[in-house]
Every structure is written in C-alpha cells, then in structure tokens.
Structure 1
C-alpha cells in the first residue's frame, strides 16, 4: 500500500517538474485579409486602399483584398468590420470624421470609440471646393452671392459626411439657399457635378486637381488649417474669412476592438513600415494623398477628438437634411 502511494507521489513529482508547453500562437495571417472601404470604387479612399493592400500583402506574406461596401453614410462598411470574426482578418479603411459622425446621424449598431481598434493613420486628405467649369462664380464670395439669390444644389458622400457638414455650415453662415444631394461616394457625385446636376461639392484634392487640370471644374478654396501642398495657389476658407473650416481629415486603418492586442500590434508594425517607405509615399502623393504614418495611439486620439468636435458641430447645425 505504501509503495503504491510512493509511486503516485513520484509520478506527480515527475509531472510537476516536466516543462509546460504553451499552445503555439496561431500564424497570422491564416486566411485572406479584407480591407473594407465604405465608399464605392474609384474614389481617393479606394485608391489608397488598393495601393496599401498590395504592400500589406507583401509585408505579411498573405493575400489582401479590398472590398467596397458603401451606403448609409459609411455605416454599412463599418458594421461589417464590427460584426466580423475578431481575428484581425477584416479591416476598415475610412476617414476619422466619417466614422465619428455616423454615431450622431444614422445611429448604427456600434460605438466609434469603443468598438474599433485603431491600427495606423495612413494619410491626410485635404478637400477643395469645386464648381462646374461654366458656373458663373470664380471665387467663394461670388458663390456666396449666387447662393443667396437662387437655389443651388451641392453634393456630398452622404448625409452627415464631412462634405455635407462643411457645406451645410457654409450655407447656414451665409444665409444661402443651397440644397443638399447625398451620394454613395465621390465617383457618382463627380459625374453629376460635371453634368451640372449639382453646382458645388467638396472633393478630395487629388481628384479635384485632375479635374481642374482638364478644365472640367473650377476650384475656389480648400478646407484645412493651411494651404494644400497639392494646390498651393488656392486659398483656404479661413484665409477668406470663413471660420470653422480648419478641419484636416485623416484616413486611418481600423479593426474590431475584440481582435487580440498582439494581432493589432502586428498590423500596426507592418502598416508603419509601409508608410515609412519613400516610394510608397511618392505613390500616395501622386494621387493627392498626403502621407501621415501615425501610430495607433495617435489615430485613437484623433478619433476621440474628431468625435467630440463633430458632435458639437452637428449640435450647432441641428437636423441635417
């Protein structure tokens, strides 16, 4: 009896002294990575996503695809990421204000602060006010005079989008008669701007610059605290005496906040390494996107600040139509 007991003790001791092997971490990526863009194909955000996805695939030695899911002011694409399996294989590329304003306009099933894990800030996306080439306005002041005397239609990426809020603010300030027309993205909005169905729109500077070069639109001003490096001759709204137009729109990469921290950190490292490449920065500048390369903590701070400021702006404007 005693010998049996001693054998049990010895066996237990051997087990206790044996090395404990933790489960090996799962390889990442283990399947195709999807970058969800909440806008249609053809816009600046889509172009950034496609340039970035190719570099991310090389960096992670995996397959990375871009999936366009537009609609509902960007909330459809954002909700896709929140509801996806939290393994880091579904990412969201969007503008900070687009993610922020959705919480106050469309009432989505997510919180922009707590339901997303910022990965990295990729680019800054300044915007320019564009009007058709035959529009009888060559300055913001002349557009203001027209808007006070007759109805003008302006387009945006959707209700509550940055373009909508900025031009609604402008219209409210000047006492104009401008009417909002929402679109599902930049490409269909540009089509109607060139066709004369709308008379004004805020465009990303990359697309605005190309349309100006081809003589299809006139550019009147840029949004931001300083002049755009891509359109240095164009004044800012602030220079012209219009306040509340010093926003800088940042394009960032996010995933679900339920994704393990180690996976988010892996994606952050890869993203920042890509953003530091001079040739990649040149590719971004070629499409009018200013390289940013912000770490996750900075993008998180930007998202929180933009959400607070955007909420205050929307509260001042009241109901947006």
Structure 2
C-alpha cells in the first residue's frame, strides 16, 4: 500500500463514526423539546414541524413541553442529552436574548447548544390602543415628542421590552415602560387606554388587533400577509431597522456535523412542504431555508444587538 493510500484509508476510518451516524440517523423516536407551555406560538410551530418531519424521516417525532425558568429547564435538558440528534431543542428569538443577557444560566448557551436550523419567521408588529389618537407612524413619532407615552413589557429585558427598545432606537423616541406579568395583561391595559404601545409578533397580537388595537407598522423587510395594509418600518424611512421573530432548532454540543447537516436538510424540506407552509401561514409565519452556518450567523448578529440595546 502506498503512503497516499495509507493516509486515505486512515482518513476514511476517522470519518466513519460521523458517516455512520448520518447513515443510521434517525434510528429511533426523535424528541423535540419545547421551552413553552402547550398552546403557545412555540408549541404550535413544534407541532407543525413534528408532523412534517415525521413524513420526511418516516420516523416517530414527539413534542415534549418543558417550560420553566425562562427556558433554562429545556435548555439544560437538551444540553445534557446524548448528542446523537434524537433530542432536539426548539427555541425562538428569546434564545438569542438570553444568550446575550442572562448571566444566571449555569452554562454558555452558544457553546452548549449549537445552532442547527431556522424553522420560520413571523413579523413583529407595533400596535396602539383604542383610546389615543395614534393611527399612523407619523402620529406615533409626533406624540412621542409632545407627551409621555407608555409601552408595555413583560419584564426587564424580556422579548417585549427589548423589541420596544429596538423600535424606540430606530425612531429616535423615548417611552416609559410599564411592566406586566403576561402579554395578556398588557393587551388588556392597551385596550383600556392605560398604556399606548405594545410590540409583539403578529400571532401574539392577533387578539389585540381583532379587539380594536391599531397596527401601526411591522418590523420585517416585507409587509405581513396577515396585515397587508400595514407598512413596514423600512417603508416609513428606516431601512436599516428590520427585525423578525423566529423559531429555530438546537442540538447538544458534540453532535456530529453530519447529523447537524442531516437535521438541517430534513428540516428545510419539512418546513417548506405545502402542508407546513399552509399551517405556518395560518399563524402569520413563513418557512426558512437557512443553512446551519447562516442560522448561527443570524443568532450571533442578534446577540450583539441585544447586548448593545441593554448596555452590556
């Protein structure tokens, strides 16, 4: 055997574990761990994924809800799971926020939970209440400079609070934050006139809009299919200020790259199937086709944004 042949054979042996993992994967039921309670947006997307992915893999896919500690319960569970691709975390935009700001976690999220696939995105919409004269973005900017406006948030450095900071920075305005235990409580006060602004994803704001709240603008690159009459922030003259809510998949550190690639490829296929696209559209979301590398870059970019907005 020549020297070259020996090296080639050795490389083949080294690659065998990863190749075998990909060829045999998935060899058993795959569990998608969700950090939210049943019925929420994260949970709905998990169910859409599990249905579509089971057809791609011809394998059982189960969704396991593990809420608690702002997602830390599910993060820890998946981070400590066997890194073979059979236990997957389905997280969201809040993952990047917590990776940027939560120093109380017992481990580094970016180190322990590699980014695998973006499932889809939903527009974030700014809405105002029924008892103020704000009906357009121009109204919002003008009144922000003339009087004190109040914006709801579900806690310091929560998704709603950070999204509101993002909008204020883009518009060059300042609002006073009112904190609530839940988004539902904030919407009640928005409709009752006790706060003026609420910023959340389109699915989370549907009930508020149906009850009379006014959608002022969406933060994505394009108008929402569910709110086609509402302009984007970019259309209003702020082209560098775009933001979307997203859902994504994460695997334990040490998962073979071949398995990560297999999960990404299957996920893109599943979420872009006609059934999944239709199901996502019903909640105001669209599928993604990002590679694992592109998804990792997206999360890394957002972490920098949240650290800056939080002054860290």
TM-score, structure 1 as length reference: 0.75
| Of 219, 243, 246, the match for 1:247 | 243
- Give the superposed CA RMSD: 3.3
Q: What is the CA–CA distance in structure 2 between the aligned matches of 1:40 and 1:65, rounded to whole Å? A: 11
| Of 106, 112, 115, the match for 2:112 | 115
Q: Does structure 1 residue 38 correspond to structure 2 residue 64?
A: no
Q: What is the CA–CA distance in structure 2 between the aligned matches of 1:220 and 1:210, rounded to whole Å? A: 15
| Of 277, 298, 303, the match for 2:299 | 303
| Of 53, 57, 62, the match for 2:50 | 53
| Of 89, 92, 111, the match for 2:89 | 92
C-alpha spacing 1:182/1:257, structure 2 compared with 1 (3 Å): farther
Question: Quick check: 1:75–1:102 contact (8 Å CA) kept in 2?
Answer: no
Q: What is the CA–CA distance in structure 2 between the aligned matches of 1:77 and 1:188, rounded to whole Å? A: 25
Question: Quick check: 2:144–2:173 contact (8 Å CA) kept in 1?
Answer: no
Matches within 5 A, 1:12-27: none
Q: What is the CA–CA distance in structure 2 between the aligned matches of 1:41 and 1:147, rounded to whole Å? A: 41
Q: Does structure 1 residue 278 correspond to structure 2 residue 274?
A: yes
Q: What is the CA–CA distance in structure 2 between the aligned matches of 1:148 and 1:304, rounded to whole Å? A: 37
Question: Quick check: 1:129–1:220 contact (8 Å CA) kept in 2?
Answer: yes
Q: What is the CA–CA distance in structure 2 between the aligned matches of 1:80 and 1:241, rounded to whole Å? A: 44
C-alpha spacing 1:124/1:177, structure 2 compared with 1 (3 Å): closer
**1:77, CA displacement in angstroms?**
3.1
Q: 1:289 aligns to what?
A: 285
**1:170, CA displacement in angstroms?**
4.1
Question: Quick check: 2:120–2:288 contact (8 Å CA) kept in 1?
Answer: yes
Q: Does structure 1 residue 64 correspond to structure 2 residue 66?
A: no
Q: 2:179 aligns to what?
A: 181
Stretches of structure 2 that go unaligned for 5 or more consecutive residues are 1-12
Q: 2:202 aligns to what?
A: 205
Q: 1:8 aligns to what?
A: none
Question: Quick check: 1:117–1:257 contact (8 Å CA) kept in 2?
Answer: yes
Tell me the SS of whatever aligns to 1:99. Answer: helix
C-alpha spacing 1:102/1:182, structure 2 compared with 1 (3 Å): farther
Q: Which has the larger radius of gyration?
A: 1
Q: What is the CA–CA distance in structure 2 between the aligned matches of 1:153 and 1:105, rounded to whole Å? A: 21
Q: 2:152 aligns to what?
A: 154
**1:128, CA displacement in angstroms?**
0.4
Q: 1:140 aligns to what?
A: 137
**1:187, CA displacement in angstroms?**
5.7
Question: Quick check: 1:36–1:81 contact (8 Å CA) kept in 2?
Answer: yes
Q: 2:9 aligns to what?
A: none
Question: Quick check: 2:116–2:250 contact (8 Å CA) kept in 1?
Answer: yes
Q: What is the CA–CA distance in structure 2 between the aligned matches of 1:258 and 1:292, rounded to whole Å? A: 25
**1:198, CA displacement in angstroms?**
4.8
C-alpha spacing 1:55/1:180, structure 2 compared with 1 (3 Å): same
**1:50, CA displacement in angstroms?**
1.4
TM-score, structure 2 as length reference: 0.77
**1:206, CA displacement in angstroms?**
3.3
C-alpha spacing 1:230/1:70, structure 2 compared with 1 (3 Å): farther
Matches within 5 A, 1:97-108: 97-107=93-103, 108=105
Q: What is the CA–CA distance in structure 2 between the aligned matches of 1:311 and 1:142, rounded to whole Å? A: 30
Number of aligned residues: 291
Q: What is the CA–CA distance in structure 2 between the aligned matches of 1:34 and 1:187, rounded to whole Å? A: 30
Stretches of structure 1 that go unaligned for 5 or more consecutive residues are 1-19
